[in-house]
Amino acid sequence: MAQTCSCCNDEPQGCCEPREAEAEERSLWLEYGPKGLGVLVFVAALLWPTVTGMDVLTSLPWHLATYLPLLLYVAAYLLIGGEVLLAAARNIGRGQIFDENFLMAVASLGAFAIGERAEAVAVMLFYQVGDFFQDRALARSRRSISDLMDIRPDFARLMAVGTPTDDLSIDDINRRQTWEVVAPDAVATGQLIVVRFGDKVPRDGTVIQGASRLDTAALTGEAKPVEVSAGSTVLSGSINLGDTFIVRVDVDWAESTVEKISELVEAAALKKAPVENFITRFARYYTPIVVVLAVALAVLPPLVTTLIAGVGGAATGVWAQWLSRGLIFLVVSCPCALVISIPLAYFGGIGGASRRGILVKGGNYLDALTRVRTIVFDKTGTLTRCDYDGRAHVDEELKPGSKAAIAALRSEGVHSLIMLSGDKQEVADRFAGQLGLDAAYGELLPQDKVARFEEMQAAAAARGELLAFVGDGVNDAPVLARSDVGIAMGGVGTDAAVEAADIVLMTDEVGKIAEARRIAVKTQRIVWQNIALALGVKVLIMTLAAFGASTMWEAVFGDVGVTLIATLNAARAMRST
């Protein structure tokens, strides 16, 4: 059955693309056409002095030769900056006065008022050009981050009811296309789905026919393809790198791996880091304060000068001079670089971690991870593994990579590594010695683990540090819930891990903890770089404006230019290394 798309009824998939392209082209023209015309009108206004001597101008009626330059500047201003004025008016009507649109509108209208027509239009023009590049960079960054985390399959190839799979080879199934293309959440448990080369596995299930290789990097961060064949369990979101195979759906859509991961990542955006919350509050008070300061800069010095020197032409010039300084001060004061780039950096850090098979439930946990200096581990299933022969316990050994993971954590600044275990003390000591841990506590019942952990947590808090706990998410759920940063091993399949932990590792690799901390530190470093850049440049230009040493062009750079730089810098957070 041919795949369909909603915008074109029963036409094949891809039929919507030309229509969408046409709609996008019309949208771009509507958005940028008037601005392009405004640029042409602005150029005409700037060239006006060179053509004032032409004979044709002397015949213009109603003194158009006198007023035409003003009309050209007004027309250019409205064509280029009309949407900014409308946005400012709409926001004022909603009670949201102090935003970037308001500041730009006041600054450019003020420039018109003091006779700086070309400068008023140019402010809007450079603001719009900078805003265009800023929007493109922001959209590209967000799209890249979203692509990293976009593991949801778009469709499922549902086998028709009653199809005799035993009598059909994979080649027959490919040739006959005995399936219906439906949404992944429309497939019921127990139904059969076909997964072809390049498809994302739409639902968790068991392979009943065929064999292939799967790319699970989006789920686990594991670059090596996984071999699957009849009887293998497959997770939704994996990508088929080989031949066609058939899967029996084993779990409901709400419980599928891809849906759980997607919900976790989407919910992470709601849990903001402390610095994000601070910037939100900061912008709420900062913008009105700088508006008051700009008004004071524009009014108080010339008022004092006028009172001393008396009213006259010189005093009038002083008013224009200080008003210009106040307008420059106003333009550069916009806090957009902070408001846009900081949430983007945390979102990028979460996306980069997700790509590596590390699910972080919020920017607050990334921040918290940078303050962790002590990590407490469960033993069995986290640092060690047991081998079994039937039901008989044969031996317990260190998990591959555990020792290297401990060394990596020390290199990342974690100075205290401790083990909690329900096993005998001598067993705990033996493994702690092999790993190079600082301490090990054995013979602990679940409630004893909680009590011991809380003691260590109180001691860490007294030092101004946070404490992390790493466990398998089943027996250790109480400690995971109490920890400052709870890290669950073994993937999203364990409900206790998802619910109790703050960070979920999609694999059993302890080494992912050091990687998570490295990502957290990098993200926080980018955030503070942007804060220093934005505030540093703005304070510098505002100070220069107060002394008349900066122009409106520098003010526009201090707003839009710095925001663009900060946005590009924030996009680096999505790269986990």
Residue 291 structure tokens: 């508006």
Please name the residues in contact with 353: beta carbons below 8 A apart, sequence gap of 6 or more.
Answer: 359, 360, 366, 516, 519, 576
Backbone CA torsion sign across 248, 250, 253, 256: negative
Q: Which amino acid is at 398?
A: L
Alpha carbons 161 and 182: distance in angstroms, whole number: 14
**Could you say which of 131, 199, 367, 378 is catalytic?**
378
**How many Cβ atoms sit within 10 Å of the Cβ of residue 313?**
7
Please name the residues in contact with 113: beta carbons below 8 A apart, sequence gap of 6 or more.
Answer: 323
Strand-pair partners of 202: none
8 A C-beta contact, residue 162 and residue 180: no
Long-range contacts of 479-485 (CB under 8 A, 24+ apart): 479/376, 479/378, 479/420, 479/449, 479/450, 479/453, 482/450, 482/453, 482/454, 482/457, 483/376, 483/453, 483/457, 484/368, 484/372, 484/457, 484/460, 485/365, 485/368, 485/369, 485/372
Across 126-157, b (16+ Cβ under 10 Å) vs e yields bbbebbeebeebbeebbeebeebbebbbebbb
Known catalytic residue at 378: yes
Tokens 């996306």 locate to 351
Alpha carbons 216 and 225: distance in angstroms, whole number: 7
Strand-pair partners of 227: 213
8 A C-beta contact, residue 387 and residue 397: yes
Across 535-546, b (16+ Cβ under 10 Å) vs e yields eebbeebbebbb
Tell me the helices (H) and strands (E) count for the chain, helix number first. 20, 18
Element (H, E) at 378: strand 372-378
Strand runs labelled E in 176-282: 179-182, 192-195, 205-209, 212-215, 226-228, 233-234, 239-240, 245-249
**Angle, CA 518 vertex, CA 513 and CA 522 arms, to 5°:** 150
Alpha helices in 356-400 (DSSP H): 363-370
Parallel, antiparallel, or unpaired: how do β-strands 226-228 and 212-215 relate? antiparallel
Alpha carbons 246 and 229: distance in angstroms, whole number: 10
Q: What is the DSSP letter of 190?
A: T
- Residues marked active site are found at 378
